[in-house]
Amino acid sequence: MNVNPIRIRWAERVPPHKIRRLYESDARGLLDEELLDDVGYGIYERCQDIIELREAQRGRVKCRNCGSIILRQTVNGEFDSTEVLKCDQCSWQIACGDYHKSLLRRGPPKPYEPEHLYRSFVQKWPVARSSRDKLLLIDSLIHEFHIHYRAVGTPIGCDVIKATAEELIELIESLAYGPESTGGVEKTKEIWSSRLRAKRMKVNLQAIARELGIQGFSRMRKRALIEAIERADPQRFEAWSGLVHGADQNSPKGDK
């Protein structure tokens, strides 16, 4: 039953070429402020939609006319196609099945997404006044996308940026930086690069621990993983340690 012919509009994902051009303009010392707002508000709207859809999955559907909250009658992780969503504050209503179809067209958020990243951006973007503050917000979120992966190995940024996993990784790793870049942006890249190396190291350690049959490895911190691997197979540990020292000057015993 379609009780509301109005098609629900969800924000489009941000084209990657806009993000690339934004960084290129900043690297030249000629930050394109119009493009900055275009990219920033595109990310903002997309983050808002992700939050709204997560709330809908929890049973709290936002009225698309007045913004009031409609409580679903049945909340079991699924959408009951026979239920009609009716707003008590205005005349807006839609069949739950039709609402669900709009989510499928958009691509529903996954339960393992770090929702706090989207909420933080939505909270901070409207009050960011300077171009520097806006760019640093965008830059911080984009690099968080590089750190956080879904359970299936896809960067969560694919929900915000219109790119495949490979395209998104290539985009983030090739963003332009230069002497004229906005102050703080290049420092952010260094911090996130360090975090990414630490994350990759832990993933590698967990793979070794799995092979060695170490119990509870998925809950261990990096230091505990290293010590457990060293006890279980000293030769394997020495081989791994040699590779790490050859590729990275950071101590492998940092507990991150």
Q: pLDDT at position 72, please?
A: 85
> Are β-strands 69-71 and 60-62 bridged in parallel, bridged antiparallel, or unpaired?
antiparallel
pLDDT score, position 189: 61
**Which pLDDT score, from 0 to 100, does residue 255 have?**
39
User: Helix (H, G, I), strand (E, B), or coil: what is residue 61?
Assistant: strand
Tokens matching residue 79: 């959408």
User: 121, 48 in Cβ contact below 8 A?
Assistant: no
93, β-bridge pairs:
86
What is the CB neighbour count within 10 angstroms for residue 71? 10
Collapsing DSSP to helix, strand or coil, 84 comes out as: strand
pLDDT in tens, the chain (256 residues): 444 455 788 888 999 999 999 999 988 889 999 999 999 999 999 999 989 888 888 889 999 889 999 998 866 656 777 888 999 998 889 888 888 888 766 655 555 568 889 999 999 999 999 999 999 999 889 888 877 765 456 678 888 999 888 888 888 877 777 666 676 566 666 655 565 566 667 677 778 888 888 888 777 877 887 888 878 888 877 776 765 555 554 433 343 4
**By three-state DSSP, how is residue 67 classified?**
coil
Please tell me the predicted confidence (pLDDT) of residue 42.
Answer: 96
How far is the C-alpha of 121 from the C-alpha of 110, rounded, in Å?
18
Tell me the C-alpha distance between 117 and 120, whole Å: 5
Q: Where are the alpha helices (DSSP H) in the chain?
A: 16-27, 33-57, 96-106, 115-124, 131-147, 165-173, 185-212, 222-232, 234-247
Query: What backbone torsions phi and psi does residue 147 show, to the nearest 5 degrees?
Result: -80, -40
Contacts of 113 (CB under 8 A, 6+ apart): 50, 54, 148, 150, 156, 159
Nearest to 188 by CA among 236, 143, 234: 143
* Residue 85 three-state SS: strand
Q: How far is CA 144 from CA 83, 137, 155, in A?
A: 38, 11, 9
Q: Would the pTM count as exceeding 0.95? A: no
Per-residue pLDDT at 254: 40
The predicted pLDDT at position 256 comes to: 40
